[in-house]
């Protein structure tokens, strides 16, 4: 088999999606599944839809086009503010987009009119993450202008947390977003269908005891793909953490002693961990490197330690039995490692447990393939 490769277990993606969908359904919240970390991989997106996701969200237009070309017809929302230079294509392939700039909304409206369609607008509000978003005091005015503009339809508001700042949203922020939804509704009319509270970092809030108020949507990527809470890194109960496995091939093994050079400015040295008894260490060199993934984001197999990585090599140490040249080693990935590996041209993606053809139409409700093993 090709190396390096990612093995993705689509049964585990379906299971993780369904687990979150069911937990949030009880709280009146639907799941919009975010595919960006997989570069809009169509089979993974389909597994998310089979697990009950209400729709898909993507950050990049190229990924949306990939999904559409593969025949995915569900609603797709662009969650990164569209580039002014891409508005025509955005209107063509996305049902709606998250927006923060009036000039972009006006260009989307003009493009929609040219294409004889209406593009959905969700206004992203800044609530503390300090990445994208309209300041809350400006929201009502902008919303009114969107409502009055032909070619676009105001669909809702949203907020984003824990991306730039790493701070998980508190219940008070969610209450404030609900109040904003009511205020905008009062000012412009009943246009706020979607109130999207955030991403995977919102799950502790959403599944806790708090009132969910007007929040009826979350955009979930990492929790579905990796089964972890992105803020703490902890596994989410009942979810698989190993839907993805990175497999790399050993190209050299030797018993060079490990003496990290100190005082070198190479950033990769920050990732070196000293191993206790260096005389017994065998170095294992694998044909994968920084160009393929985030080496620091790989979980080392039991008995091995990361020594370092360069653009094309991964060097790990072991005191245990040394694998042969030509053998494979398997790694779990964090979000950063996954996102880079999925985009790497030299990494093949192998699917396991594709949806059985006979279950093709049973997209809702638990199918046999959704049993936890």
Question: Considering the rule CB under 6 A, would residue 79 count as an interface residue with ligand PLP?
Answer: yes
Q: CA 34, CA 335: separation in Å to the nearest integer? A: 13
Shortest Cβ 158–ligand PLP spacing (Å) = 7
Q: Crossing angle, helix 42-50 and helix 61-69, to 10 degrees?
A: 80
Please report, for residues 102, 134, 293, 331, 369, the alpha-carbon distance to residue 289 in angstroms, rounded to integers and kept in the order given: 42, 39, 6, 13, 35
Question: Considering the rule CB under 6 A, would residue 214 count as an interface residue with ligand PLP?
Answer: no
- Count of residues touching ligand PLP (by CB under 6 A): 13
**Sole binder of ligand PLP in the list 59, 72, 113, 171 (CB under 6 A):** 59
Interface stretch with ligand PLP, choices 184-192, 217-225, 252-260, 292-300 (CB under 6 A): 217-225
DSSP-assigned letter for residue 236: P
Return all residues near 250 (Cβ < 8 A) that are at least 6 apart: 284, 285, 286, 323, 324, 325, 326, 327, 328, 329
Which one, 200 or 282, has the nearer CB to ligand PLP?
200
Shortest Cβ 361–ligand PLP spacing (Å) = 28
By three-state DSSP, how is residue 199 classified? coil
Shortest Cβ 171–ligand PLP spacing (Å) = 19
Question: Considering the rule CB under 6 A, would residue 220 count as an interface residue with ligand PLP?
Answer: yes
Which one, 38 or 282, has the nearer CB to ligand PLP?
38
Question: Considering the rule CB under 6 A, would residue 230 count as an interface residue with ligand PLP?
Answer: yes
Q: CA 34, CA 23: separation in Å to the nearest integer? A: 17
Which one, 202 or 293, has the nearer CB to ligand PLP?
202
Q: Within 153-172, which residues bind ligand PLP (CB under 6 A)?
A: 160
Please report, for residues 31, 280, 348, the alpha-carbon distance to residue 301 in angstroms, rounded to integers and kept in the order given: 33, 18, 21
Which one, 4 or 221, has the nearer CB to ligand PLP?
221
Q: CA 36, CA 50: separation in Å to the nearest integer? A: 18
Please report, for residues 114, 128, 134, 197, 279, the alpha-carbon distance to residue 170 in angstroms, rounded to integers and kept in the order given: 42, 11, 19, 11, 50
Which one, 23 or 369, has the nearer CB to ligand PLP?
23
Interface stretch with ligand PLP, choices 64-72, 81-89, 215-223, 260-268 (CB under 6 A): 215-223
Which one, 159 or 284, has the nearer CB to ligand PLP?
159
Do β-strands 314-318 and 282-286 pair in parallel, antiparallel, or remain unpaired?
Answer: antiparallel
Applying CB under 6 A, the residues found at the interface with ligand PLP are 34, 36, 59, 79, 160, 199-200, 219-223, 230
């Amino acid at each position: 088999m090709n190396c390096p490769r990612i093995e993705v277990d689509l049964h585990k993606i379906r299971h993780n999606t369904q687990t979150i969908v069911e937990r949030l359904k009880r709280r009146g919240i639907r799941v919009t599944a975010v595919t960006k970390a997989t570069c809009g991989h169509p089979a993974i997106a389909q597994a998310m839809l089979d697990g009950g996701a209400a729709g898909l969200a993507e950050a990049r237009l190229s990924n949306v086009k990939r999904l559409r070309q593969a025949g995915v017809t569900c609603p797709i929302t662009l969650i990164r503010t569209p580039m002014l230079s891409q508005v025509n294509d955005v209107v063509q392939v996305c049902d709606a987009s998250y927006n923060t700039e009036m000039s972009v909304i006006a260009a989307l409206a003009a493009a929609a009119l040219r294409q004889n369609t209406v593009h959905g607008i969700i206004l992203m509000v800044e609530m503390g993450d300090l990445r994208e978003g309209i300041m809350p005091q400006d929201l009502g005015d902008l919303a009114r202008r969107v409502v009055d503009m032909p070619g676009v339809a105001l669909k809702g508001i949203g907020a984003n947390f824990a991306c730039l700042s790493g701070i998980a949203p508190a219940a008070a922020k969610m209450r404030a977003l609900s109040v904003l939804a009511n205020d905008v509704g009062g000012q412009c009319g009943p246009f706020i269908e979607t109130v999207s509270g955030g991403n995977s970092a919102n799950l502790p809030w959403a599944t806790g005891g708090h009132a969910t108020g007007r929040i009826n949507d979350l955009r979930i990527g990492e929790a579905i793909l990796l089964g972890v809470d992105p803020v703490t890194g902890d596994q989410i109960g009942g979810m698989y953490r190993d839907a993805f496995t990175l497999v790399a091939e050993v190209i050299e093994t030797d018993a060079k002693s490990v003496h990290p050079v100190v005082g070198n400015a190479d950033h990769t040295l920050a990732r070196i961990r000293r191993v206790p008894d260096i005389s017994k260490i065998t170095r294992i060199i694998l044909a994968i490197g920084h160009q393929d993934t985030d080496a620091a984001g790989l979980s080392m197999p039991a008995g091995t330690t990361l020594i370092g990585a360069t653009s094309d090599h991964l060097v790990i140490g072991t005191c245990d039995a040394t694998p042969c040249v030509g053998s494979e080693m398997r790694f779990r990935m964090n979000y950063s490692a996954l996102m880079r590996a999925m985009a790497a041209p030299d990494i093949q993606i192998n699917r396991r447990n594709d949806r059985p053809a006979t279950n093709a139409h049973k997209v809702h409700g638990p199918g046999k393939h959704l049993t936890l093993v």
